[in-house]
Amino acid sequence: MLTTELKKDLEPISVNTRADMVELRLREYLNKKELKTGDLLPTEMELSEALGVSRNVLREALSRLRMLGLVESKKKRGMVLTNPDILGSFERVLNPQRMDTSTLKNLFELRLVLEMGLADLLFVRKTAKDIKELEAIVKNGKFEDDDVFRVTREIAFHGKLYEITGNDTLKRFQIMLLPVFDYVLKNENRSVKSNISHTDLVRILKNGTKEEFVVGMREHLRPHFELLKNL
Amino acid sequence: MLTTELKKDLEPISVNTRADMVELRLREYLNKKELKTGDLLPTEMELSEALGVSRNVLREALSRLRMLGLVESKKKRGMVLTNPDILGSFERVLNPQRMDTSTLKNLFELRLVLEMGLADLLFVRKTAKDIKELEAIVKNGKFEDDDVFRVTREIAFHGKLYEITGNDTLKRFQIMLLPVFDYVLKNENRSVKSNISHTDLVRILKNGTKEEFVVGMREHLRPHFELLKNL
């Protein structure tokens, strides 16, 4: 029977330590050797021998790298390095239900920061076609009070803005952040109303300046900024 | 010997398919059951039986979930759900050397968007102490032409801005984006000079308005925005 003190002083080695270490070692190896996309990795046998671990542990670590999109198994060639999907794993863990309050708050703020920072890209990349599409999204504004309509159009409108930036990473990132936004907005204070509607923002994007757009977006997002104070 | 056509029509099943499927199935299960942080998972035996897969395949998938920070093995309790580290895996794959040009460009733009969107959080959260620290960072501005000094102070200054937001996710995110920024900046056109220095930005943050700060930051980042045209 172990004494409580010994248990406290000597933390048990996690069952996962070896796979963690092998995964880290392999990532360090890939970076140190400055391997590039398409380069071939040593065989499983060579790797497990060099690392002094069983094939099972090695395979576990390699499986993680495959999930991250760092390596790919090619029939008859072996493992090659790939262009990682940088947002793939982010997508896998982004479930608002299992986030602590401070992470939720941080991601909510992150989206506000993105939204406030879009103006420059928007004014460089917007086309007449984009403006037309935004105009189509915002018409029927009279239904603004209907909740389902409101949320659907909210997503369509802001999603279209991200699309105009022409930046796929940004666009995908904001889609991932939607559930978080949704989750936080359940607590929104509906008594705070913005004086700038989607229609106003489209008008500014069409005929106004970047500076006006930033000011307009700030007013448009005021109910969300207000919410920050209570988080 | 297979005909080329058959090879093209029937893609070989990836060696990894089963672990991929089990991983996906487990993540769906966690979401569907609306399991929360701290909840206990079924045992490995129960899971492998329900999924109809070997313990090895199951363990491979569970190892991935552990890496993502979705589950944790607790001695004597079994596997429990954890608060995922949402940026951990992002950190694991962010190596500019293995990114394609469009991903690099997207992340470069993403950082510019963040930088342009910081003003609101900065003006809500800045303290007199923060301003003092920024002032300490920007003094000795006369060495601006020394490259090493310039980069070090660049990182210190912008890093401090993210710190002022009080948003750890944002701060960590920008630290991760630094190598990308660095990588892209090797191609920077040094002939484009900004008329707004760090010192000017600190002055605006101290005595100016949000609106002035956005305009100042835009001018400060002009060499980077110019670079976008060539990417």
What residue has token string 């004494």? A3
In a domain, A105, yes or no: yes
Q: Which of A19, A47, A81 is the last residue of a domain?
A: A81
- Tell me what pLDDT residue A166 has: 94
- Are residues B140 and B72 part of one domain? no
In this structure, the answer to whether residues A200 and A120 fall within a common structural domain is: yes
The Cα of A146 is separated from the nearest Cα of chain B by a number of Å equal to: 28
* Co-location of A96 and A192 in the same domain: yes
Cα of B150 vs its chain's centroid, Å: 24
A56, burial (CB in 10 Å: exposed 0-12, middle 13-18, buried 19+): middle
The domain boundary residue, chosen from B27, B57, B81: B81
In this predicted model, what pLDDT tens digit does every residue of A89-138 receive, in sequence order?
888 888 888 888 888 889 999 999 999 999 999 999 999 999 999 999 98
End-to-end CA separation in angstroms for chain B: 46
CA–CA separation, B183 and B108 (whole Å): 9
| Segments forming the whole domain that contains residue B35 | 4-81
Read off the tokens for A29: 């190896």
Whether residues A61 and A159 share a domain: the answer is: no
Which chain A residue shows the shortest CA-CA distance from B113? A117
Buried b (16+ CB within 10 A) or exposed e, A199-216: ebbbbbbeeeebeebbbb
Q: Does one domain contain both B158 and B223?
A: yes
Q: Which helix (H) or strand (E) holds A73?
A: strand A71-74
Structure tokens at A129: 């076609």
CA-based nearest residue to B63, from A84, A20, A95: A20
Same domain for A212 and A102, yes or no, is yes
* B230: number of Cβ within 10 Å: 8
Q: What is the mean pLDDT of each run of 10 residues along chain B (231 residues)?
A: 68 69 93 88 95 93 92 87 85 83 90 95 96 90 62 87 95 88 72 88 97 95 82 56
Rounded to the nearest 10 degrees, what angle do helices B101-117 and B210-220 cross at? Answer: 150
Domain co-membership, B138 together with B93: yes
Which of A93, A183, A213, A229 to substitute to test the interface with B, most B CBs within 10 Å? A93
The answer to the question of residue A4 being in a domain is no
Beta bridge partners of B122: none
Based on the structure, what is the number of domains in chain A? Answer: 2
Does residue A182 contact residue A227 with C-beta atoms inside 8 Å?
Answer: no
Facing residue for A67 by CB, picked from B23, B87, B106:
B23
- Eight-class DSSP state of A74: E
Which CATH number is A206's domain given?
1.20.120.530
Same domain, A223 and A113: yes
Per-residue pLDDT, B90: 83
The verdict on residue A50 lying in a domain is: yes
**Nearest CB neighbour to A103, from listed B20, B59, B169:** B169
Nearby residues of B54 by Cβ (< 8 Å), 6 or more positions away: B48
Per-residue pLDDT at A2: 63
Which of A15, A90, A211 minimises the CB distance to B89? A90
Nearest-Cα distance to chain A for B137, in Å, is 24
Q: Residue A136: how many CB atoms within 10 A of its CB?
A: 12
Considering only the beta carbons, identify the residue of B86, B115, B170 that sits closest to A94.
B86
Report whether A230 contacts A207 (CB < 8 A): no
Q: Which of A27, A53, A81 is the last residue of a domain?
A: A81
Closest Cβ–Cβ partner in B14, B37, B93 for A86: B93
Residue A115 is assigned to a structural domain of this protein = yes
User: Does B175 lie in the same domain as B103?
Assistant: yes
pLDDT score at B131? 97
- A77 and A93 in a single domain? The answer is no
**Alpha carbon of A154: minimum distance to chain B alpha carbons (Å):** 20
Backbone angles phi, psi at A118, to 5 degrees: -75, -25
Task: Reduce the secondary structure of chain B to three states and give it as a string.
Answer: CCCHHHHHHCCCCCCCHHHHHHHHHHHHHHHHCCCCCCCECCCHHHHHHHHCCCHHHHHHHHHHHHHCCCEEEECCCEEEECCCCCCHHHHHHCCHHHCCHHHHHHHHHHHHHHHHHCHHHHHHHCCHHHHHHHHHHHCCHHHHHCHHHHHHHHHHHHHHHHHHCCCHHHHHHHHHHHHHHHHHHCCCCCCCCCCCCHHHHHHHHHHCCHHHHHHHHHHHCHHHHHHHCCC
Clarify whether residues B73 and B170 are in a common domain: no
Q: Does any domain span residue A213?
A: yes
Distance between CA atoms of residues B231 and A224, nearest Å:
34
> Does residue A156 sit within a domain?
yes
Which residues of chain A make contact with B60, given a CB cutoff of 8 A? 59-60, 63
Contacts of A90 in chain B (CB under 8 A): 86-87, 89-90
CATH number, position A47: 1.10.10.10
- Of B175, B166, B155, nearest to B129 by C-alpha is B166
pLDDT of residue A11: 64
Query: Is A43 within the bounds of a domain?
Result: yes
Residue with tokens 């029509």: B9
DSSP A139: S
Tens digit of each residue's pLDDT, chain A (231 residues): 566 777 667 765 555 578 899 999 999 999 888 888 889 999 999 999 999 999 999 999 999 999 998 999 887 888 999 888 888 888 888 888 888 888 888 999 999 999 999 999 999 999 999 999 999 998 865 555 566 677 788 889 999 999 999 999 999 988 888 888 777 777 666 677 889 999 999 999 999 999 999 999 999 999 888 877 765
Q: Are residues B76 and B184 in the same domain?
A: no
> What is the 8-class DSSP label of residue A71?
E
A221 to chain B: closest CA residue: B120
pLDDT attached to residue A119: 96
Q: How close are the terminal C-alpha atoms of chain A, in Å?
A: 47
Which residue type is seen at A2? L
Q: What is the residue type of A42? A: P
In a domain, A140, yes or no: yes
Residues from chain B contacting residue A35 (CB–CB below 8 Å): 98
The pair phi, psi for residue A81, each rounded to 5°, is -80, 145
The 3-state DSSP class for residue A203 equals: helix
B81 bridge partner residues: B71
pLDDT the model gives residue A14: 56
